[in-house]
Structure 1
Amino acid sequence: MARFEGFDAGVAGWFVGLENDNSREYFTAHRAYYESAVRGQLTALLDDLRDEFGGETKVFRQHRDVRFAADKSPYKTQTYGVLSGSSLSPTGFYLGVSADGLTAGGGYWRMARDQLERYRAAVDADLEKRIAASGLEQWGETLATAPRGYARDHPQIDALRRKSVTLGRRRPVDGGIGADEGRAFVAGTWRATVPVLEWLATHVGASTTA
């Protein structure tokens, strides 16, 4: 198993090139760099963190599934993976790299109907305090207005409008990211999500619908 050595200064440029020329020709011509400096280093970073957090890692394919998509671009413009099964987060942690930078986080992405019902019934000031204390950004879709059955002036209306509860942070990759800095950034971000993930595990849990 290779150890994480960092992301070099060419990573952001590789993704910019893919965004500008999302073709098999570009990807094939630059595949060796992708395999070693992009996917290879992301995989190594996840494996390093597995030693600390436990669980199992997975890096997703760079190819997009375009069978039912209007956009037929063949490649994703980010490389990403997850660490799942950690005792700190049964739902898993996210890690990705793109032209925008190195992104780490966790949470419940696009909650199922039953999860949303439990989430909205449980939303309270404690959740908001945990999110604020994390110091992380919140990501994900929100409703344009209050969900059905909830007043627009509800004290937790911003939280109630959310369809996802995901949070994390991004560190620019321009100029490269050293090994120690990268590991510390991701590990610190993941640990900051844990109080929110604990709330979600207690009050929402996994979907029970097919």
Structure 2
Amino acid sequence: MSTATSTVFTGWPADAVAFLSELEADNTAEFWAAQRHRYDTAVRPPTSALAAALGAEFGPVRVFRPYRNRRFRPDVPPYRTDTGGVASTAGGTDRGFVLSGSGLAVTVGRYAFTGPALRAYRAAVAGDAGGELATALAAAAAGGLSLLPAPSAARTPLGYPADHPRVALLRLRALQVGHTWAVGPWLSTHEPLARVAGAWRAAAPLVAWLDAHVPEVG
């Protein structure tokens, strides 16, 4: 990823979605070489502009590079078929937005809990802080965000009662909320900025909870 440049966001032109859809259908070096100019004009500049606008409120937003890292997965397609960015808090919580051929998505939370972070998360959920998490998730839901599917333990984690009122949250190994809006003419207006910023604000209590109770480790 690279740091966004500061420009005014006025929306993505219609060709941005068309380009991403075509790249998904023909993810080859030949297509990229022939059509790269469309990425450079219709995709990258608006994405960077949106990232810069969000950064004024939420801190630096890193924009996705178009190339995939194939060092450990040489079988994956060479180019990303979406565009977007991520703002990470000092505590390790991510706020993201992604435009693809099917829509604009927002996500907020942690992609995965491992080791000490997973243990800290479970202890917080099981204790008094668990009620605060439920409130934070309710605030996110009121803002139109849903709890996203996440890896979970097959059974109740060792040391916690199977009838714990928040057992479903205890079993999670990641915690993210999000929403996706379908592609439409609104993408070519200022509206994406309002929608993404509004969603990120709705998830502010969740961000604060994760940063306070599940600090980034490592």
- Same-fold status (TM-score > 0.5): yes
Per the TM alignment, residue 43 of structure 1 is displaced from its structure 2 partner at its CA by: 0.7
* Pick aligned residue for 1:68 from 62, 72, 75: 72
Paired amino acid for 2:133: L
What residue in structure 2 maps to residue 139 of structure 1?
Answer: 148
**1:88-111 deviation per Cα after TM superposition (whole angstroms, max 9, x unaligned):** x86342121111211223212212
Q: C-alpha distance in 1, partners of 2:17/2:64?
A: 19
Paired amino acid for 1:91: T
Q: Which runs of 5+ in 2 are unaligned?
A: 1-5
Matched, 1:39 2:76: no
Paired amino acid for 1:74: P
TM-score for both structures, normalised by structure 1: 0.87
SS in 1 for 2:152: coil
Q: C-alpha distance in 2, partners of 1:80/1:110?
A: 20
Paired amino acid for 2:132: D
Task: Give the alignment of 1:1-210 within 5 angstroms.
Answer: 1-51=6-56, 53-69=57-73, 71-85=75-89, 91-123=93-125, 124-135=130-141, 136-149=145-158, 150-207=160-217, 210=218
How large is the Cα RMSD of the aligned pairs?
2.1
User: Percentage identity across aligned positions?
Assistant: 34
Per the TM alignment, residue 54 of structure 1 is displaced from its structure 2 partner at its CA by: 4.8
CA spacing shift, 1:157–1:120, aligned 2, 3 Å: same
**1:135-160 deviation per Cα after TM superposition (whole angstroms, max 9, x unaligned):** 21222522252243134432112211
Per the TM alignment, residue 85 of structure 1 is displaced from its structure 2 partner at its CA by: 5.0
Runs of 4+ aligned residues of structure 1 deviating over 4 Å after TM superposition are none
TM-score for both structures, normalised by structure 2: 0.84
Q: Which runs of 5+ in 1 are unaligned?
A: none
Q: Is the 8 A contact 1:168 1:193 kept in 2?
A: no
Q: May I ask how many residue pairs the two structures share in their alignment? A: 205
